[in-house]
Amino acid sequence: MAASLYSRLGGYDGIAMFATTLVGQAQQDKLLSRFWANRGEDRVAREVQLLIDYLVKETGGQMYYTGRDMALSHQGMGITEADWTRFIEIVASVAGELGVGPTEGGEVMAFLNSLKADIVSA
Length of the chain: 122
Q: What is the pLDDT of residue 1?
A: 73
Spatial distance between the Cα atoms of 106 and 108, rounded to a whole number of angstroms: 5
The overall pTM is greater than 0.85: yes
Domains of the chain: 9-119 (1.10.490.10)
Residue 66: burial class (beta carbons within 10 Å; 0-12, 13-18, 19+): exposed
Give the pLDDT confidence score for residue 67 in this predicted structure: 93
Mean pLDDT by 10 residues, the chain (122 residues): 91 97 97 94 95 96 93 95 97 95 94 96 80
